[in-house]
Structure 1
Amino acid sequence: MTQSRLAGFIRDNMEPILQAWENFARTIEPPALTMSDVDLRDHARQMLLVFADDLDTEQSDQESADKAKGLGERGHADTAAEVHAEARLLSGYTVVQLVSEYRAVRASVLTLWADDTRGGQGTDLGDVTRFNEAVDQAVAESVARYERLVKQSQNMFLAILGHDLRNPLGTLVTGSSFMMQATDVPPKYVLVATRMFNGATRMSKLINDLIDFTRTHLGPGIPIRMRQGNLAVVCDQVVNELRTFHPERQVDMRLSRRLEGQFDEGRIAQMLSNLIGNAIQHGSNDTPVTVDVNGGEEDIVIAVTNRGPVIPPDKITGIFDPLVRLVSNADADYTERTSLGIGLFVSREIAHAHGGRIDVASNAATGTTFAVTLPRRPKGLRSTDSAADHS
């Protein structure tokens, strides 16, 4: 194997290249202000040696193209670039600052290499191309690891926040409920307690959705506890609750016979509450929200329909994506328009956990319908009684 001249140059000039790396890193404030020389140079030597070894390794045209896109083949162990990204994240670097370090090391190596070749030796453009490909691969590995760690920390924060809020919120629900039922309290205080109870109940629902959202990212998915039951009972309970919470809106429900099956009553109630609440939020105030529940031989279909604005076709595919909200109209309440919008995502995950699915159809003639198809007896599903607390 013929040794690359640029690879040899990198190995022979490691110290000036590292010094240039360190000098640039010190311009990144504030993280660099509290870091030692060793910290600023961490993993740089290993990455430079990886670049040099790569230059000395023969590769095909396809391997070259893959590395230029950050898709180069790699082993099972963490690369120096991935370890470096993790260390920089813990030191407070932003992803922009992380990428800027690679720009600096690229410029440092190529500048020193160009100065060295002015003595009479020509610059090997093939070496320069290979070097750039190796740096691109390292950048891709660093950014991917950085992004994954940031997402993990964000999801963990949301999960902890949701769990920590449940206890004080439970106290608020219990206290306001006690005041609502008291007979020796003036009516004006009962009215305040009722408003507190309704607000706390809505907050509790949002927190449950938030916890379920993080479960799908940090664990195996939403836990369910399957039992034999009657879906008509669950639907009737949820619809009556929402009629109480939204007395100004009309919610019509039609139930067919034979709605028995195996499902998690709590999760189905959560899913149905999300779908009907979404229909109330985005539907027209002048037309009712309809809930149709029909039982077939193998499946039960729950269809929730509202007559609000039509969802554009290009928005349908992303409507279940987390944090996506479709603003129903300019007069919508501010907190509704800026809410997290994870209710539909959680509803889809609940349907999937039951071996079912949710389909969406939206047009001016029939309105917007979310149709949930649930098998009466899901196959291949394992009930997860542990961690099934979704109160």
Structure 2
Amino acid sequence: MAAPQRVDLHNCADEPIHIPGTIQPHGALVFLSSAGLVEGWSANIATVVGSEPALGQPFGALGLPQPVTALIQECHDTMADGTAPATMTALDVGGREYDCVVHAHGGRVLVEFEARDVGMGEVAQFAIKAHSSIDRLRRQRTIDGLLETAVRQVRDFTGFDRVMAYRFRADDSGDVVAEARRDDLVPYLGQRYPAGDIPPQARRLYVLNTLRMIADVGYTPVPLLGAPDAAPLDMSFAALRSVSPVHVEYLQNMGVGASMSVSIVVGCRLWGLIACHHMAPKRVPYSVRMAADVLAQVIASTVQGIEARADAELVEHAANVRTGLVEALLLEDDPLDALVRHGDGLLESTHAQALVVCQYGRVVCRGVDQALGDAVVASLPAEASDVVTRAGVQDWPDAIQPLLGKWAGMLALPFDPPSGGWCVLLRTEQVEEVAWGGKPDKSRAGPLGERLTPRGSFDAWIETVRGRAHPWEDGILTHARMMLGELVRVSNARRAQTEATRAQLLAMLGHDLRDPLNSINMAGMVLERTEGGSNKGTLGKRIQSSSNRMQRMIGQVLDMSRIDRGLVLGVELHPVDLAALACDLVEEARLAYPTIVYDLHTTGPAFVLADAGRLGQVISNLLSNARHHGEPNQPITIRLATQDGLAILEIANAGDPIPAETESTLFNPFKRSSLNNPRNRTGMGLGLYIAQQIVREHEGEIAYRHEDGKVVFAVQLPLAPNR
């Protein structure tokens, strides 16, 4: 049969470790075809059967003891798709005890004879200890407690010098999370081992065959013999399978004389390992190893149960958060404020530490400053339909990396792409001191020649890992996608509701225009019939008032339509004296409403780059709001001042504070509180929304506050240069 290839770290990931062509020397092997004919054997088979078999010889002519031939026949009878599970019997050959293991794989029957150096009575005692260990494991309620108990129990009934529990990370590196050892050995607890220590094909074998034993790391392999042109024997499930020389060298560099590993497989993935090391050669009987394998299955089942309970708790909590958030979004006017108010639940259910939400260009932050929030939003992709994640600083655009500070991880949900709606969750950087099991690099010199070899030292090598957050867990990503689906449905429902409201308001607008139009028509008719009458002045005022109402309504609808289509309102910037503009508009208001006191205070000219018409629209809207919502017979105060390069215009009226639930939606269109307001029956909830858009197009801000019994709206605009 073909000789094994020479390997080093250049090609060990491609090494066919399942067909090594050799076995470990503490046993012998013969393999048969599906018809029960001899196809090959190990070079030392004569130590068990007395002589070397012949190719094509029936297994019944090998002179094997009856219990062994019975197992072989049973394996043939139960073979399905070329495989059959392992069965074992004990036998004595020339006063030496063996465990005979028979199984089928790849259409061949493998018969392994493994020498045992302890009697069956002692093996039975091991089995009793193992059963007791299983009972202890089943009572554990935490993964840490489970693994700590497991390493102690496995060491107790196997006698290894060191037993470690590895737990693998998402990147396939593994941490030693529990350890039971001989007192004089250097502890490995807390050390991490890189993913490269277990090549992919070895990881696959760990899942397929969950137990592997190397009785003597310094062994000389025994070759397999057979027809020169025969296909290599697949030994994936063989107990005596020889191991890679690279792995042997790895263990020798650790000072290990014998090893046993038991896989912990959860959900068809390699979750962890129970790794056993002995500083001298050591054999563990097959029955005891099988007990350890059962122990690992109990560990896997218990881990699965613990993780399932944790996942169920997360799912329940996340569902409650989603339900509460959806209810709030359906009932409230401002999605961003609803998201921020439910921030505690969002952060807790995703294990995040900060929240940034945005929509229609507005950015609201919780846990980070506004500048970083704006930068985070600016870094989001233009189009996305699924959650967007970033695990570390290196995943962010280069321009924003210097601004991140302690933040590294991101989970972003595009809940309303048409309006630029995002819900962004952030995680802080997890500065981690990693104690690697030896510096994870490769040296050039080794006992097998000038080649890349495993590292020679396994003393803890400390590395500080920065710029990475804790990875987003699968359960949290699933919850995030479910939440995204709910938020998208709510956004679509709100959009449909807005469209229906818009249609209703347009219909109402058409209805409300009838009254002023009728007034104009009637006034015109009266003027025509009473051309010389004394009531021309009154009728003229009525015509002007009705026309202004129509013009205001139509203008707001047109502005709203432009904003809704993503268009700017369009401003032509020229130097404008805000003081003079405010004086003109206040004078117009005094003439139109002579019973109202307008108290104007300015500190002189205040030139800004502005569109006078649009800015006049903002001031007129604020004066109108003060007139409609202020307390009767109380003055309206207008103050204009300059400070720190800004012109600050404040319009105040006496009144109670705006309720919190209304304050959060002041600048939203189509507010419920504005519709059918008895003090402003024709209001459509568009004025402040349009005013805010105009001010922002002037690179300014508009804000509300309540101060000294007055409702105050303040507009801040940058002063024009060289003024």
TM normalised by structure 2 equals 0.30
* Secondary structure in structure 1 of the residue aligned to 2:649: strand
Q: Could you tell me which residue of structure 1 aligns to residue 711 of structure 2?
A: 368
CA distance in 1: counterparts of 2:614 and 2:498, whole angstroms = 26
CA distance in 1: counterparts of 2:609 and 2:517, whole angstroms = 30
Q: Could you tell me which residue of structure 1 aligns to residue 358 of structure 2?
A: none
Q: Could you tell me which residue of structure 1 aligns to residue 619 of structure 2?
A: 272
Q: How far is the alpha carbon of 1:254 from its aligned partner? A: 1.4
CA distance in 2: counterparts of 1:308 and 1:271, whole angstroms = 21
Deviation digits for residues 102-147 of structure 1 (CA, Å, limit 9, x no counterpart)? xxxxxxxxxxxxxxxxxxxxxxxxxxxxxxxxxxxxxx76775575
Count of aligned pairs between the two proteins? 247
Q: Could you tell me which residue of structure 1 aligns to residue 671 of structure 2?
A: 324
CA distance in 2: counterparts of 1:335 and 1:207, whole angstroms = 20
Q: Could you tell me which residue of structure 2 aligns to residue 228 of structure 1?
A: 575
Q: Could you tell me which residue of structure 1 aligns to residue 703 of structure 2?
A: 359
* Structure showing the higher helix proportion among its residues: 1
Question: Following superposition of structure 1 onto structure 2, how do residues 177-196 of structure 1 map, counting pairs within 5 Å?
Answer: 184-196=531-543
Q: How far is the alpha carbon of 1:306 from its aligned partner? A: 0.6
Greater shift after overlay, 231-240 or 334-343?
Answer: 334-343
Question: Following superposition of structure 1 onto structure 2, how do residues 70-89 of structure 1 map, counting pairs within 5 Å?
Answer: 70-71=484-485
1:203 to 521, 526, 550: 550
CA distance in 2: counterparts of 1:143 and 1:252, whole angstroms = 46
Q: Could you tell me which residue of structure 2 aligns to residue 386 of structure 1?
A: none
Amino acid in the other structure paired with 2:633: D
1:341 to 685, 688, 695: 685
Question: Following superposition of structure 1 onto structure 2, how do residues 19-30 of structure 1 map, counting pairs within 5 Å?
Answer: none
Alignment root-mean-square deviation, CA: 4.2
Instruction: Decide whether the 8 Å contact of 1:361 with 1:370 is kept in 2.
Output: yes
CA distance in 1: counterparts of 2:521 and 2:713, whole angstroms = 34
Q: Could you tell me which residue of structure 2 aligns to residue 284 of structure 1?
A: 631
CA distance in 1: counterparts of 2:581 and 2:523, whole angstroms = 25
Q: Could you tell me which residue of structure 2 aligns to residue 257 of structure 1?
A: 604
Deviation digits for residues 250-303 of structure 1 (CA, Å, limit 9, x no counterpart)? 112112113122101001110000001111111122221011111335111111
After superposition, the Cα gap between the structure-2 partners of 1:173 and 1:225, relative to the gap in structure 1 and judged at 3 Å, is: farther
Deviation digits for residues 183-205 of structure 1 (CA, Å, limit 9, x no counterpart)? 95412244223212112212311
Amino acid in the other structure paired with 2:687: G
Question: Following superposition of structure 1 onto structure 2, how do residues 136-155 of structure 1 map, counting pairs within 5 Å?
Answer: 148=495, 151=498
Instruction: Decide whether the 8 Å contact of 2:576 with 2:610 is kept in 1.
Output: yes
CA distance in 1: counterparts of 2:655 and 2:601, whole angstroms = 20
Q: Which structure carries more relative contact order (alpha carbon 8 Å, separation 6+)?
A: 1
Amino acid in the other structure paired with 1:213: M
Deviation digits for residues 6-28 of structure 1 (CA, Å, limit 9, x no counterpart)? xxxxxxxxxxxxxxxxxxxxxxx
After superposition, the Cα gap between the structure-2 partners of 1:217 and 1:162, relative to the gap in structure 1 and judged at 3 Å, is: farther
Instruction: Decide whether the 8 Å contact of 2:572 with 2:611 is kept in 1.
Output: yes
CA distance in 1: counterparts of 2:508 and 2:720, whole angstroms = 36
After superposition, the Cα gap between the structure-2 partners of 1:185 and 1:265, relative to the gap in structure 1 and judged at 3 Å, is: farther
Q: How far is the alpha carbon of 1:152 from its aligned partner? A: 5.8
Q: Could you tell me which residue of structure 2 aligns to residue 40 of structure 1?
A: none
CA distance in 1: counterparts of 2:506 and 2:678, whole angstroms = 25
Q: How far is the alpha carbon of 1:337 from its aligned partner? A: 4.8
Q: Which runs of 5+ in 2 are unaligned?
A: 1-472
Instruction: Decide whether the 8 Å contact of 1:258 with 1:295 is kept in 2.
Output: no
CA distance in 2: counterparts of 1:367 and 1:304, whole angstroms = 10
* Secondary structure in structure 1 of the residue aligned to 2:535: helix
* Secondary structure in structure 2 of the residue aligned to 1:371: strand
Instruction: Decide whether the 8 Å contact of 2:609 with 2:720 is kept in 1.
Output: yes
Q: Quick check: 1:65 aligned with 2:479?
A: yes
* Structure showing the higher strand proportion among its residues: 2
* Secondary structure in structure 1 of the residue aligned to 2:582: helix
Calculate percent identity across the aligned residue pairs.
Answer: 22
Q: How far is the alpha carbon of 1:232 from its aligned partner? A: 2.2
Q: Could you tell me which residue of structure 2 aligns to residue 305 of structure 1?
A: 652
Instruction: Decide whether the 8 Å contact of 1:305 with 1:368 is kept in 2.
Output: yes
After superposition, the Cα gap between the structure-2 partners of 1:315 and 1:252, relative to the gap in structure 1 and judged at 3 Å, is: same
CA distance in 1: counterparts of 2:631 and 2:488, whole angstroms = 49
Q: How far is the alpha carbon of 1:375 from its aligned partner? A: 0.7
